[in-house]
Amino acid sequence: MKKKNLRYLQSITKLLFFLSFYATIAQNTSTASEEKPNVLIIYTDDHRYTGVHALGNQEVETPNMDSLVKDGISFSNTYLMGAFSGATCVPSRAMLLSGRNLFQLEGQGHVIPKSHTTIGETFKKAGYYTHIVGKWHQDNNSLVRSFDSGDKIMGRGLYLTDHFRMPLWDWDKEGKFSKDDAYLLVYDKEGKVIRRSLNDQDKKGPFGTEDIGPHTSEIFAKSASQFISQYDKEQPFLMYLAFHAPHDPRQAPDAYKKIYDVNRIKLPPSYMLQHPFDNGHMVLRDEELAPWPRTKQVVQQQLADYYAIISHLDAQIGSVIKTLKESGNYNNTLIILAGDSGLAVGNHGLIGKQNIYDEDGVHVPLILAGGVIKNKGSTIEAYNYIHDIFPTICEITKTPIPSSVTGKSLLAVMKEPRKKHRVYTYHAYKQFQRAYRKGDYKLIEYVRAKDFTKARGEFETGSRVTQLFNIKKDPWEVIDLSFQPEYKVILHQMRNEMKTESIRLGDKKENIWGEKYDFWDYY
């Protein structure tokens, strides 16, 4: 009996040991599966959808962004809702950072009020360490309340229009970012990167070269890589990496310029010598970057320069992703790559982005990649906006979405691509242009309206024009169907639905602080 009891006790002991052992494994597995992923948001500037080779199949070479497309989910119909500023990157970034639509921003988007919880604040509250590198277009208060730290901050009031001579700031937790604290990164006689203060001889460019100092894309990528490689905190991080490229001036190192033979650059299907009518904002800095008319040679040079700065940007993004992999964080990181607006670069006779054509103004790349993403290499066609990105990141990381966010998470459609996300999209540019997209069609309406500048005072500009495109058959918006009798019913329906949506969104000047003019007063 004693031996039997001993064997019995030994069996019980072994059983308890194994139960304890497997319980520990289960607990560790559960903890690992519930571990919050890091978040890396890469936001590019004036980067149209076809500015990623794998998305638009254009001549631009982007092997690193193409790799993200293969290793993630890309969205073929992501759009900027619009802008009430010629600097469309201002509202674009406000929408990304606040998750609110164009008509719910504070004015044009220069200020993000405390009542609009930012993505940085949201993730700080959820236990993340938040960090920013690069461009910030909003107010200082929203900047410092969004991030625990930052580096190489750009855009705080000094701008030399030069990627090789860009004023930068160190992180200032008090949010002062005074002009006296701005500096440039330049090469000394030995070729080492040093910092120096600005002086009266630092005139606006662009006349910098790679011999003077590093390019903004190199500066921001190096800073981001250093943060990743040196990060040693237990909490996950959210990094907002905001590049200034490929925004003009379209400067790139010579090695990238040599990739593109100007004389062999193909013109886009929507190339025109000039825009066929006054769209309300034809004369501004962006459009003055190239002479009129937009001859074949002019546009080929613009495109070659645009592709070169994108390829250079792509290499820098690649270096950040390489560092992420080497640090061992890639498999537990959600990577978001998106552009803030489209850019014409010769489409429809335009150069800038002050319009609501697709490639020329509002169609942007959106790629979600990294180890967190499944269904790799897939494409989702659902209509969505830039302000849908914020709640999407929250849902993927199981982070509570603030009540101030009004965008719609894309997680459901990522799981079931056949689901509808948005049935239509609506777009606005100042008091001159409105667009409505549904199904195969897109309606754009233009008006002649009043405007005001300090130089000219109040004046009238623009044209009363209607355009209707079959986006499915004509994605570059070349063939206007609005005057053809067989599209009369569709045109009438689209106009009525656009007006209904404008009312639902609150598209009127009273809802946009500082606006003097209303599109609907002239329609």
pLDDT in tens, 473-494: 999 999 999 999 999 999 999 9
The set of residues, in sequence order, having a beta carbon less than 8 Å from that of 333 and lying 6+ positions away, is: 37, 38, 39, 40, 324, 370, 371, 372
Of 458, 488, 362, nearest to 49 (Cα)?
362
Residues 415 and 490 both lie in one domain:
no
pLDDT at 49 over 90: yes
Question: Which residue bears the tokens 């069996």?
Answer: 11
- Domain residues for the domain of 240 are 38-419
What's the total number of domains in the chain?
A: 2
Question: Which residue bears the tokens 């937790």?
Answer: 173
| Structure confidence at residue 32 as a pLDDT band (50, 70, 90) | very low
6 found inside a domain: no
Of 456, 468, 449, 461, nearest to 509 (Cα)?
449
- Tell me, what's the pLDDT at 419? 83
Residues 358 and 486 both lie in one domain:
no
Q: What is the arithmetic mean of pLDDT over 158-183?
A: 95
129 found inside a domain: yes
Using CA atoms, how far residue 158 sits from 146, 166, 184, in Å, is: 22, 9, 11
404 found inside a domain: yes
Are 318 and 500 a contacting pair, CB within 8 Å? Answer: no
Q: What is the arithmetic mean of pLDDT over 258-286?
A: 96
Residues 409 and 430 both lie in one domain:
no
Alpha-carbon span 493 to 443, nearest angstrom: 10
Are 83 and 107 a contacting pair, CB within 8 Å? Answer: no
- Tell me, what's the pLDDT at 480? 98
pLDDT at 6 over 80: no
Residue ending a domain, among 419, 436, 464, is 419
Of 349, 358, 267, 343, nearest to 304 (Cα)?
267
- Three-class SS of residue 417? coil
Residues 121 and 51 both lie in one domain:
yes
Alpha-carbon span 236 to 495, nearest angstrom: 47
> pLDDT (tens digit, 9 = 90+) per residue, 73-110?
999 999 999 999 999 999 999 999 999 999 999 999 99
Residue ending a domain, among 376, 392, 419, is 419
23 found inside a domain: no
Report which of residues 54 and 25 the model is more confident about. Answer: 54
C-alpha triplet 246, 249, 251: angle, nearest 5° = 75
b/e 240-278 (16+ beta carbons within 10 angstroms → b): bbbbbbbbbebbbbeebbeebeeeebeebebbbeebeee
Residues 378 and 498 both lie in one domain:
no
Q: Which run of H or E residues covers position 452?
A: strand 441-453
* CATH (domain of 368): 3.40.720.10
Question: Which residue bears the tokens 């058959």?
Answer: 473
Supply the DSSP string of 19-78, one letter for each residue. Answer: HHHHHHHHHHHHHHHTPPPEEEEEEESS--GGGSHHHH--S---HHHHHHHHTEEEEEEE
> pLDDT (tens digit, 9 = 90+) per residue, 190-217?
999 999 999 989 999 999 999 999 999 9
C-alpha triplet 218, 220, 225: angle, nearest 5° = 90
* Mean pLDDT rounded to a whole number for the chain: 93
Of 193, 235, 232, nearest to 212 (Cα)?
193
- Three-class SS of residue 254? helix
* CATH (domain of 451): 3.30.1120.10
> pLDDT (tens digit, 9 = 90+) per residue, 392-405?
999 999 999 999 99
Residues 389 and 484 both lie in one domain:
no
pLDDT at 24 over 80: no
- Three-class SS of residue 211? coil
Alpha-carbon span 314 to 27, nearest angstrom: 41
5 found inside a domain: no
Neighbours of 5 (CB within 10 A): 9
Residues 343 and 463 both lie in one domain:
no
Residues 443 and 386 both lie in one domain:
no
Q: What is the pTM of this model?
A: 0.92
Residues 437 and 295 both lie in one domain:
no
Residues 362 and 436 both lie in one domain:
no
Question: Which residue bears the tokens 């489409």?
Answer: 347
Side-chain-side CA neighbours of residue 205 (13 Å)? 20
The set of residues, in sequence order, having a beta carbon less than 8 Å from that of 82 and lying 6+ positions away, is: 88, 91, 102, 356, 362, 427, 428, 429
Longest pairwise C-alpha distance within the chain: 108
Residue ending a domain, among 419, 439, 471, is 419
Question: Which residue bears the tokens 């909490």?
Answer: 235
| Structure confidence at residue 125 as a pLDDT band (50, 70, 90) | very high
> pLDDT (tens digit, 9 = 90+) per residue, 57-75?
999 999 999 999 999 999 9
14 found inside a domain: no
- Tell me, what's the pLDDT at 418? 82
Residues 431 and 413 both lie in one domain:
no
Are 355 and 433 a contacting pair, CB within 8 Å? Answer: yes
Alpha-carbon span 137 to 319, nearest angstrom: 25
- Tell me, what's the pLDDT at 2? 45
- Tell me, what's the pLDDT at 34? 63
Residues 469 and 333 both lie in one domain:
no
> Per the structure block, which two tokens stand in for 200?
């009266």
Burial of 474 (0-12, 13-18, 19+ CB in 10 A): middle
Q: Count how many residues are written for the chain.
A: 523
436 found inside a domain: yes
24 found inside a domain: no
Cα dihedral across residues 168, 172, 177, 178: positive or negative: negative
The set of residues, in sequence order, having a beta carbon less than 8 Å from that of 21 and lying 6+ positions away, is: none
Alpha-carbon span 359 to 51, nearest angstrom: 9
